[in-house]
Structure 1
Amino acid sequence: MINAFMQARTGSTRLPNKVLKNLQGLPMFIQQAKRVQRAKLVDNLVIVTSTDESDDIIEQLCNENNLLCFRGSLSNVLSRYFHAELNYPCDAIVRITADCPVIDPELMDYVINSHLKNNNDYTSNCLVATYPDGLDIEVISKNALHNAYKYAEKPSELEHVTPYITSHPDKYRLQNIQSEQDLSAYRWTVDEPKDFELISSIYENLYVKKPNFNYQDILELLSHKPELNLLNPQIARNEGMVKSLKKDKEEGYE
């Protein structure tokens, strides 16, 4: 059993309510959920949000769109995932964030298949970034998740779910999936208003004709319309992780 847990919240500091932004007639996270549901190796998709009242709207929209929803800790996202797995038991969890509305279900299946084939504890395409920011996929075994919940302490480990696992290659079998071509300079995630401008343009150009567009379609679009790449230049990748690592140091962790 493979469950995808898509973490979503309304309280983004850089772009509040970003997951609710209208993307071709639907909230952004609902559009992303529809893409995730097309992954053939995912048995269930669960939207994992917080118990904070600001996220009541996410649960409401899940109910309206027949999506499973679990609510847990706002700040301890690792705890949220752990308790979500207790409620929706599975052998492995696919971790994705709800600010990546062009995530590719075929790529998800590829990463999941590699995870199962190699009996890994953790498989992703972002340990070493070679895919566009916004296509990040992490697959975690149930045992690795439970182990991380038991031993993780650092703020970065609790907020970002998987750092305890990825920082202990002596304990866990890890695998990174790399793209044949380095595509890491592309930014297709939504953290800033300009990010959403790009994503909206991608949907405007591709979604109407081909709702199931994949990441190769996006690359082709950008090759014909390179000006779109100028919408969100020079925004740092993984700013949230950088802030968490700073907090680790402030609390005395190395």
Structure 2
Amino acid sequence: MSAAMAKPRVACISQARMTSTRLPGKVLMEAAGRPLLTHHLGRLARCRTLDALVLATTVNGSDDPVAGLAESLGVKVFRGDEQDVLGRFAGAAAMAEADVVVRVTADCPLIDPALVDRVVTAFLESAPSLDYLSLDVTRFPRGLDAEVFTRAALDAAAASAVEPAEREHVTAHLYRRPELFRIGAPLAPEDGTVLDQRWCVDEAADLELVRRLLGALLPENPDFGWQDCCNLLRQHPEWADLNGSVRQNTLH
């Protein structure tokens, strides 16, 4: 990104809905005395590279509590079609007047603001410039996922994607087409480790693990990072077995 150019406006958009198939209502379930969505949005608020934070939920009445909680935390809300998540993101990005979009999902209450900042910074500083960059989800625990892409690429995908999976998974239209979009190599942990763990919440077993992590870490260090989770799990290796059998739904 040329220093002479105005700094692009970076908006983080998180998606949430009450009707998740495996654990309905999960984003409002509590851990350490607060809803998972409150933990998630509070951690994102600590990011230093973001100019805006938006929650993208649906127009369904069942998602009124999701929208209400976000608004009570000072987070702007965009509401759109439940199935067309790509269209919902494009609408949220337009509302936020974003030049660059960060995509995260609200079932990640342990998301690390420093990692989000790392992906955004790498994206903005890339030469030549990129259309899409993400954390390497095969090497980081799931639940830290962050993707960064240009608003122009998002709008192109929203205008062109027809396959239902590409309307649902938002960025699939981009990373499946390296001939059309400039895709950066996914960012791996700086120490080269591979951690095959799940810190996102899709099932009750995931929620139990997250409750233990938040319950142990928050009283000692409210600003804990992902390595603090790793250290705690080394002290309690049996905790990682709680959700070891849960499978990740993914297109990657």
TM-score, with length taken from structure 1 = 0.91
Give the Cα–Cα distance (whole angstroms) in 1 for the partners of residues 50 and 112 of structure 2. 13
Give the Cα–Cα distance (whole angstroms) in 2 for the partners of residues 71 and 132 of structure 1. 29
1:192 to 2:200 alignment? no
1:133 to 2:142 alignment? yes
- Determine helix, strand or coil for the equivalent of 1:174: coil
1:172 pairs, out of 173, 181, 190, with 181
1:29 pairs, out of 21, 37, 41, with 37
Once the two structures are TM-superposed, the CA of residue 200 in structure 1 deviates from its matched residue by 0.2
Aligned residues: percent identity? 36
1:43-192 matched pairs, under 5 angstroms: 43-118=51-126, 119-126=129-136, 129-175=138-184, 176-179=186-189, 180-192=191-203
Give the Cα–Cα distance (whole angstroms) in 1 for the partners of residues 181 and 72 of structure 2. 39
Once the two structures are TM-superposed, the CA of residue 23 in structure 1 deviates from its matched residue by 1.9
Give the Cα–Cα distance (whole angstroms) in 2 for the partners of residues 183 and 55 of structure 1. 36
Once the two structures are TM-superposed, the CA of residue 183 in structure 1 deviates from its matched residue by 2.9
Unaligned 5+ runs, structure 1 = 243-254
Equivalent position amino acid for 2:88 in 1:
R
Unaligned 5+ runs, structure 2 = 1-8
Give the Cα–Cα distance (whole angstroms) in 1 for the partners of residues 34 and 177 of structure 2. 40
Equivalent position amino acid for 1:186 in 2:
Q
Partner of 1:248: none
Equivalent position amino acid for 1:159 in 2:
E
Equivalent position amino acid for 1:40 in 2:
R
Per-residue displacement from partner, 1:53-73 (whole Å, max 9, x unpaired)?
110111111222221111011
Equivalent position amino acid for 2:58 in 1:
S
Per-residue displacement from partner, 1:116-149 (whole Å, max 9, x unpaired)?
01121001013x6211011110001011001101
Q: For the aligned residues, what is the CA RMSD?
A: 1.3
Once the two structures are TM-superposed, the CA of residue 12 in structure 1 deviates from its matched residue by 1.1
Once the two structures are TM-superposed, the CA of residue 181 in structure 1 deviates from its matched residue by 2.8
Per-residue displacement from partner, 1:177-233 (whole Å, max 9, x unpaired)?
112334341110100000000000001110111111100101100111111111101
TM-score, with length taken from structure 2 = 0.92
Partner of 1:250: none
Give the Cα–Cα distance (whole angstroms) in 2 for the partners of residues 202 and 100 of structure 1. 13
Partner of 2:49: 41
Partner of 2:3: none
